């Protein structure tokens, strides 16, 4: 898959110090690339930013590690299809790991890709969160409570757009494989301790504060508009909550 240019949350990182991508054999997945949006980063108080070390470790070890493992698993699955005597339980184990690593890669890309903003919600997503939860503040309170329900353990807090119900919802995910059917994640918050313990120790609430203060809501809004449009066009206007006349072009 082609690389994508993403926004990096920490202004401390230098462009010359980008993580080196692992060697991947086509057609397996390539890791997404990171960059710095200095204009947005300058609007964030230094005290509110995670430091470079945990972000670097998170990217290099957890995200890149999952990319490497996913590519290895895909190769083994391809080889396993040529072995007629391979026990089903072995193939099933590979498929389970494929699901686990796919979730890890995608959730981490959505996580890193939504960082680097000023934390101020705007656009259609803010309006629709207000409609779904009563107000944007009510949505944020529920999102934060869902995240803190995972503190001290592991998992993801996910704001998703459910294509079946045509609704926005916050979901609690114990691991990389927990995702409601027909839902598309728009915003993902990694609550595994590797994401925050270097900066915040066990003070998960401070990490959540920093995450919210650094969100790039333009990116979250772009994701929402993309999938909202797909929902309407792909389902024959089954739901009428989002009239097509309100849509703008999606790039």
The model's pLDDT over 8-63, given as tens digits with 9 standing for 90+, comes to 333 323 322 344 444 444 445 566 655 433 333 333 334 456 677 778 888 888 89
The DSSP line for 163-180 is TTTTEEEEEEESSTT---
pLDDT digits (tens, 9 = 90+) for 125-175: 999 999 999 999 999 999 999 999 998 778 999 999 988 888 899 999 888
pLDDT greater than 90 at residue 238: no
| pLDDT value, residue 3 | 36
- Total-model pTM: 0.76
Q: What are phi and psi of 52, to 5 degrees?
A: -65, -40
What is the gyration radius of the CA atoms in the chain, in angstroms?
19
Q: Minimal CA–CA distance to 211: which of 185, 192, 184, 183?
A: 192
Return the residue matching tokens 């926004």. Answer: 7
- Please state, rounded to an integer, the average pLDDT across all residues of the chain: 77
pLDDT greater than 60 at residue 216: yes
Percent of the chain surpassing pLDDT 90: 48
């Amino acid at each position: 898959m082609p690389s994508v240019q993403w926004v990096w949350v920490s202004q401390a990182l230098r462009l010359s110090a980008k993580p080196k991508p692992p060697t991947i054999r086509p057609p397996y997945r390539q890791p997404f690339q990171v960059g710095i949006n200095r204009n947005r980063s300058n609007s964030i108080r230094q005290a509110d930013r995670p430091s470079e070390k945990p972000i670097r470790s998170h990217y290099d070890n957890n995200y890149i590690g999952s990319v490497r493992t996913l590519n290895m698993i895909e190769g083994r699955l391809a080889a396993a299809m040529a072995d007629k005597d391979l026990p089903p339980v072995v193939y099933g184990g590979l498929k389970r790991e494929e699901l686990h690593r796919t979730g890890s890669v995608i959730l981490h890309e959505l996580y890193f890709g939504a960082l680097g903003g000023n934390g101020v919600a705007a656009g259609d997503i803010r309006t629709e969160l207000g409609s779904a939860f009563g107000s944007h503040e009510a949505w944020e309170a529920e999102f934060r409570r869902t995240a803190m329900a995972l503190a001290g353990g592991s998992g993801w807090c996910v704001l998703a757009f459910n294509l079946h119900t045509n609704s926005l919802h916050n979901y609690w995910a114990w691991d990389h494989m927990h995702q409601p059917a027909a839902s598309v994640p728009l915003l993902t918050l990694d609550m595994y301790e590797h994401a925050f313990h270097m900066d915040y120790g066990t003070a998960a609430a401070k990490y959540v504060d920093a995450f919210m203060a650094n969100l790039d809501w333009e990116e979250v809004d772009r994701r929402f508009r993309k999938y909202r449009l797909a929902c309407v066009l792909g389902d024959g206007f089954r739901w009428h909550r989002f009239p097509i006349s309100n849509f703008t072009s999606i790039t």
